[in-house]
Structure 1
Amino acid sequence: MKKSLPIILGLSFALLACKTDKKTETTHQTQELSILDKVAHAHGFNEFKNVKEIAFTFNVDRDSSHFERSWVWNTLTNDIKAISQNDTVTYNRKDMDSTATKINGGFINDKYWLMAPFNLVWDKKNITYDHLNDVPAPISKNPMQKLTIVYGNEGGYTPGDAYDFYFGEDYIIKEWIFRKSNQEEPSLVTTWEKYVDINGLKISEMHQKEDGSFKLYFTNIKITSKNP
């Protein structure tokens, strides 16, 4: 009888392990994604882990004026190449002097326009949010879901700013409002349109005001995977 004891104990532990694994699996399956995660994932957030480098040109047409600057971002090393009409500067975001810090403010702005849905996850610890259904979108007036996020008052380049995202059942952003310092009146209202799918990342190439007097758009987008 003593010889069989380890076998019985072994079976007991095995049964216990099976029960524990099953419970863990069930919990994982029923865990609901937050609205922040749902919007980010709809735009391909899960594919970002496979990205090695992102290059893009940020363009703004305001009335008769045009502005542009280009960036190359190595997502693995955080090396940035900033390319303007007058100069090309390379820096690493982990070790920035005063000049790089100033240039990096432009990178943060331009990257945010390019990948704002992903920032819903990246910035999760620094924002509060509210989610509503059936709210008229500011430009189309179509009923959409509305996600409002407000950044904390400390840290970052624009603390305290707020954004209202508008999207349908697919969680793909169609319009948004930027409200500086969380003021009630909109600072800027634009569309999110002309989506492209590049290596699984869904990018809106065009953002414009309702009257067309302001257009912010991206050209020369190139996303390189770790394993091309």
Structure 2
Amino acid sequence: MKKFLFLAILIIGSASSFVSLDKVIKTPQKPTILEKVANANGFQNWKNVKELKFTFNVDRDTSHFERTWIWKPKTNDITSIAQGKTLNYNWSNMDSTAYKANAGFINDKYWLLTPFQLIWDSKNITYEHISKADAPMSKQHMQKLTITYGNKGGYTPGDAYDFYFGDDFIIKEWVYRKSNQAEPSMITTWEDYVDKGGLKIAQTHKKGDGSFKLYFTDIEVKTN
């Protein structure tokens, strides 16, 4: 009888431990600050995107530059349209011409989808979040997220970015610091947001003195 009682206690204890462990495993983790910023911009909808088209424009003083991209993220087929020339390539098989064009694509895509890059690049960055800081352009109190890229891989290793945003996690200003130097390399706004296929995109970035404007036109998102 004692042996049976001991066995029953053992089984009940094991079952209790199992239930407790199961609860721990299923407890959802709180999203990181990277995930909060990405999700505020519709990252959860990215899985539905089958084609993204956009034109990247830069007005600097009196000059204008533009190039158009068509990206199919599910197959990584990319079309570059610039200066009257069209180039089609795929990330899985790039020659020297495609590699050179792709450097431009990486840059332009980064400006367009920076909040998503926080997730895509998460294994190659370190970050620090401050709940209150003075934004460099507006001087308003905002949250500040600083990310720094690793020194290996990518087109610009070691670079750092400071993002400024409110409680809605929508970026309002940012600072780019080449090679993680203390002094800013560029400071611009994030404004003129639009919703395309569930993605929230800042169409316009400007310097405070008006000498530089980077903006996107002809944004099209095709979903499943």
Which residue of 2 is the match for residue 114 of structure 1? 112
Which residue of 2 is the match for residue 217 of structure 1? 215
Decide which of 74, 83, 89 is 2:81's aligned counterpart.
83
- CA–CA distance in 2 between the matches of 1:194 and 1:208? 11
- CA–CA distance in 1 between the matches of 2:161 and 2:16? 50
- CA–CA distance in 2 between the matches of 1:159 and 1:86? 31
The residue type paired with residue 176 of structure 2 is F
Which residue of 1 is the match for residue 25 of structure 2? 24
Which residue of 1 is the match for residue 32 of structure 2? 34
Deviation by residue 1:36-86 (Cα, 9 ceiling, x = unmatched):
111111111110011101000000000110000000000111000000123
Deviation by residue 1:175-217 (Cα, 9 ceiling, x = unmatched):
0000111111111100000000111100000000011110000
Shift of 1:130: 0.8
The residue type paired with residue 152 of structure 1 is G
- CA–CA distance in 2 between the matches of 1:153 and 1:102? 21
The residue type paired with residue 118 of structure 1 is F
Q: SS of 1:58's equivalent?
A: strand
Shift of 1:24: 3.1
Decide which of 93, 99, 102 is 2:100's aligned counterpart.
102
Which residue of 1 is the match for residue 188 of structure 2? 190
Within a 5 Å distance, the mapping from 1:153-164 to structure 2 comes to 153-164=151-162
- CA–CA distance in 2 between the matches of 1:23 and 1:176? 38
RMSD: 1.8
Q: SS of 1:171's equivalent?
A: coil
- CA–CA distance in 2 between the matches of 1:58 and 1:121? 22
Q: Tell me the matched-pair count.
A: 214
Q: Provide the TM-score with structure 2 as the length reference.
A: 0.90
- CA–CA distance in 1 between the matches of 2:44 and 2:18? 30
Shift of 1:33: 1.0
Shift of 1:21: 4.5
Shift of 1:16: 7.9
Deviation by residue 1:118-153 (Cα, 9 ceiling, x = unmatched):
000000010011111211101000000110001011
Which residue of 2 is the match for residue 4 of structure 1? none
Which residue of 2 is the match for residue 55 of structure 1? 53
Within a 5 Å distance, the mapping from 1:65-84 to structure 2 comes to 65-84=63-82
- CA–CA distance in 2 between the matches of 1:180 and 1:123? 17
Shift of 1:23: 4.0
The residue type paired with residue 117 of structure 2 is N
- CA–CA distance in 2 between the matches of 1:134 and 1:125? 26
- CA–CA distance in 2 between the matches of 1:19 and 1:181? 47
**Percent identity among equivalent residues?**
62
Shift of 1:94: 1.2
Within a 5 Å distance, the mapping from 1:168-207 to structure 2 comes to 168-207=166-205
The residue type paired with residue 147 of structure 1 is L
Which residue of 2 is the match for residue 145 of structure 1? 143
List gaps (5 residues or longer) in structure 1: 1-7
The residue type paired with residue 148 of structure 1 is T
- CA–CA distance in 2 between the matches of 1:51 and 1:134? 34
List gaps (5 residues or longer) in structure 2: 1-7
